[in-house]
Every structure is written in C-alpha cells, then in structure tokens.
Amino acid sequence: MAFWDNLFPGRAAQFDMGGSAASNTIDLTKRRPSVSLTKQGAATGNLRVNLSWRMRTSDLEGRSRQSGRLLRNPSQFFKPEVVQAHTQGMVNVDLDLGCLYELKDGSKGVVQPLGGFFGDLNGAPYVKLSGDDRFGGSSGETIFVNLDQRDEIKRLLFFVYIYDQTPAFDRTHAKITLYPNNGPRIEIELDERAPQARSCAVFSVDNIKGDLTVRREVRFVYGFQAELDRLYGWGLQWGRGYKTKA
C-alpha cells in the first residue's frame, strides 16, 4: 500500500485490496515485456492499477537555473520573460487512465473518466475506476480489476490519454504501477518521447486458457480511443465525450 493511502484511508476503503505491498518490483521493459500473474500466484483478489505522473526533471532544472541568473543579475528581473513552448506555465497536463475490456460472453466496452464510465467491480465488467485526478497529485488515478472473476474476462487494454489539452507526453514523466493481491508489484514507465501523441496503449492483460498474462505495449498514437480501438481491433463505436466541471 502506498503511503498516500494511509493519509487518505477513505479513498480506497470500499475496495478490499488484501495482502500487503511487496518490497520487490518487476519492471516491464522492451527486453522483458510480459509476466504471468497466474504463475506469480497473483491472479486472485483485486488488482490495483495506478497511474501517476510528474513534470520532467529537466524542466524543473531549467527553472532553477533561471532563478539563479536573476539572483546574480537582478536587472534581468525587469526584462520580459521569453515564452517557450511546453513549459510548466504553458502546459496544464491532465492525464487520464482508461481500460478497454472484452468479456468471455462477447460484451465489450470502456472504463474511463470521460463520459463517466466508471465501471463496476462486483458485476460486469469487473473493472472500476476509483476517481478522476485532474491535477497529477501523488495518488494519481487508480483502476481496480476483480481477478476473482478472471474466468469472465477475455482481455483488457489499459491506456493513458491527454484530455483536451496540449499534447505533452514528452514533458511529463508518467508511470503505471500494478499492485496484485499477492506477489511483487509491476511497473511500466512511459519513457519514450512522443511530443505530439495524445494517447498511449500502456499494457494488456490476456486470459489464455486460464493464464492471465500482463504484456507491456507502450504504443503512442496521435488520436484518441478510436485510434487505439482500431489498432487493437476492439470494434466499438466512438463519439465526442466531455467531463463534468471539476
């Protein structure tokens, strides 16, 4: 369990996560793109999938250097600042976590903040979004998957998209962390630079003959969910969606 869960116990109290956070981590990379939850003994209980992000260190260092120059040369304070693209002041990034699902009975859909499709943990699709973090807080966004109903799940695709803002994946450091009910946590870094991308398929979960396998995708696209749908053959109908005001 992350430290912020202790600070805000009510946020996840409705979900029975069970167990305790493992001290070791499995990093999914290009060299090691997949891991079996079943073979890890982690295919039961609630799988917690967390998205967190922060501004890249290079941007913060740039601001620090600028402050240092002002201290050394106070007259620079009165000169107008040169506005550059993709600075923290220019870009307000709202990353959203979503999940495309397909069940064994053929039903398909999406769980995401956009449109208020928050899902259901104890009923179909057995996937639920806990809330929508629009500010990149330390807790980020979390989706729960009820793996006790794994026999009902055929495949899942977890993705991240930038809602109605300037594309800025190259200016944010985003990470997906999977917390199984048992065994080590699994981390996937969105570490590839894709400055114009608006969406990214991060990882998939496939149920093949009872074996639940997590596979790293990290495929950036320049459109939104409809483009991810076409890329992975989901076959849903998409329309323009909006969020309610925060």
pLDDT at 56: 57
Question: What pLDDT is recorded for position 94?
Answer: 76
Rg (CA), the chain: 20
**Alpha carbon of 40 to those of 28, 43, 96, 188, 207: distances in Å?**
14, 8, 28, 17, 14
Which pLDDT does position 61 carry in this prediction?
A: 44
Verdict on whether the full-model pTM lies above 0.95: no
* Residue 74: cis peptide before it, omega within 30 degrees of 0: no
State residue 242's pLDDT score: 55
SS3 230: helix
Q: What is the dihedral of CA 108, 162, 141, 231, to 10 degrees?
A: 30
Q: Kindly give the residue spans of alpha helices, DSSP state H, lying in the chain.
A: 3-7, 57-72, 225-232
Residues 10, 151: contact at Cβ < 8 Å?
Answer: no
CA angle 189, 103, 241 (to 5 degrees): 65
Q: Which residue has the tokens 């973090």?
A: 133
> Distances in Å between the alpha carbon of 79 and those of 25, 83, 190?
48, 12, 37
pLDDT of res. 55: 64
Predicted confidence at residue 243, as pLDDT, reads 52
Q: What is the pLDDT along the chain (246 residues), one digit of tens a residue?
A: 443 344 334 433 343 333 334 458 999 999 999 999 999 999 999 999 999 887 655 444 444 444 444 445 544 434 433 323 333 444 567 788 999 999 999 999 999 988 889 999 999 999 999 865 444 444 568 999 999 999 999 999 999 998 766 667 877 788 999 999 999 999 999 977 787 888 999 999 999 999 999 999 999 998 889 999 999 999 998 876 555 554
pLDDT value for 23 = 53
Q: Which residues contact 130 (CB under 8 A, 6 or more apart)?
A: 11, 12, 15, 141, 142, 143, 144
The whole-number pLDDT of residue 168 equals: 72
